[in-house]
Amino acid sequence: MKGYIALEDGTIFEGESFGAAGEAVGEVVFNTSMTGYQEILTDPSYSSQIVTMTYPLIGNYGINETDIESSQIQVAGFVVKEACHYPSNFTSKTTLAQYLQDNGIVGVESVDTRALTRHIRTCGALKAVIWAGEEEISPEQLVKKAQKWKGLLGEDLVKTVTCKERYLWEDSESQPKNHQFSIVAMDFGIKFNILRILSKLGCKITVVPAHTTAEEIMALQPDGVFLSNGPGDPAPITYAIDTIRELIGTLPIFGICLGHQLLALALGGSTYKLKFGHRGANHPVRHNATGVVEITSQNHGFCVDIESLKSKDIVTSHINLNDNTSEGLDCPDKKLFSVQYHPESSPGPHDSGYLFEKFLKLMEDEKKSTKERKYTAVSDV
């Protein structure tokens, strides 16, 4: 079957279908990772995006039952130079092509992904339509459909990926018998591996929908609040921003990716859309406090405006060394911090693992402080 990627500016890339037949609209972006395609496909942060892999051969170790970040494939479409149809790995259960077909996701291969990536870098992430099928179709019609799509700016994508109701995370492989801390994770499109890591570190995790209020969260009596990753523009997620603003100063808060952006907005900052975003597993980020450079995994199209927070006593903790954009915030007085990248993905492989330990230390200190205040109050009486 033929396949097309039709961009809003009229550019058309032709290839061959290796996924499901059909059509999908989304923002076309590129990811520079050499591996991790299954995690990318199932990452909710990729909702409404057509992902192009820059590495030429994708699918060589197949699809397994564990490398998933959510309950389903989240991308709108998938584009590769060459899809491996005969994978070799002892954990593989099926091929990448079959995985896409079974989940109704359009995939197109035999595309000049170098040319497509250069076009995105030059023109920015563009609205696009990915199509595959046996029938004849006019690519120009697909271009018109791409132009009519409203795009990501100003759209609330979180409501399409957040959980429907509150639940307690349970993972037989990582769940400890005794919990040191109880945390609430606000689900803006949370990745399973974040939950696995926090669970291994001794946290009892209650995952709540993005629209959960501060009052409902405090009623659960958590030791800390985690703000998850998620897709799209943070600005229209006003309900979550209001909740976070109410929580600031009451409990330790740790945010990742979209959670970082929402925290910045709650603190009075602003965000903006990047030209083509940061997506890959090799982005260098400097930790300003130590000068150490971490190799990070990233997936975002929006960014915090550093200047918007300079007058608010917020420390810029991390900087992207490719373009000097914000990669982290720290405010010890308010017991909060956040990073733009994904420390749970471990491309370094464990350069950023200290961030989870930092969250635990904040909760431990807060527990001690609470006990001391109670002891002082009793002594005064």
Provide the number of structural domains found in the chain.
2
- The confidence score (pLDDT) of residue 178 equals 74
Task: For residue 199, give the CATH number of its domain.
Answer: 3.40.50.880
Q: Tell me, what CATH number does 71's domain have?
A: 3.50.30.20
Residues 181 and 70 in one domain: no
Same domain, 328 and 228: yes
Whether 375 is in a domain gets the answer no
φ/ψ of residue 306, rounded to 5: -60, -40
List Cβ neighbours of 354 (8 Å cut-off, separation of 6 or more). Answer: none
In a domain, 153, yes or no: no
One-character DSSP codes across 358-371: HHHHHHHHHHHHHH
What range does the domain containing 316 cover? 158-370
Structural domain contains residue 37:
yes
CB contact at 8 A, 328 and 339: yes
**CA 131/CA 141 separation, integer angstroms:** 11
Q: Are 274 and 299 spatial neighbours (Cβ–Cβ below 8 Å)?
A: no
Domain stop point among 96, 121, 148: 148
The span from the CA of 58 to the CA of 253, in Å, is 37
Please give the positions annotated as active site.
257, 342, 344
User: Measuring CA to CA, how many Å separate 200 from each of 105, 350, 356?
Assistant: 33, 15, 11
Q: List Cβ neighbours of 160 (8 Å cut-off, separation of 6 or more).
A: 47
Same domain, 179 and 129: no
Query: Could you list the mean pLDDT of each consecutive 10-residue stretch along the chain, which spans 381 residues?
Result: 97 98 98 96 97 98 96 97 97 98 98 98 97 95 97 96 96 65 98 95 97 98 98 98 97 98 97 97 95 95 94 90 96 95 80 93 90 61 53
pLDDT given at position 171 = 72
122 and 216 together in one domain: no
Residue 377 lies in a domain: no
Structural domain contains residue 360: yes
Note whether 197 and 129 are same-domain residues.
no
8 Å CB contact between 359 and 314: no
Residue 137 main-chain phi, psi, to 5 deg: -145, 150
State how beta strands 293-304 and 181-187 pair: unpaired
Q: Residue 103: what are its φ and ψ, rounded to 5°?
A: -105, 5
In a domain, 193, yes or no: yes
Q: Please tell me the predicted confidence (pLDDT) of residue 376.
A: 64
Domain boundary among 148, 166, 201: 148
pLDDT reported for residue 179:
85
pTM of the predicted protein model: 0.94
What secondary structure does DSSP assign to 277-341, as a single string?
EEEEEEEEEEETTT-PEEEEEEEEEEEE-GGGGGGGT-EEEEEETTT--EEEEEEGGGTEEEESS
pLDDT for the residue numbered 373: 65
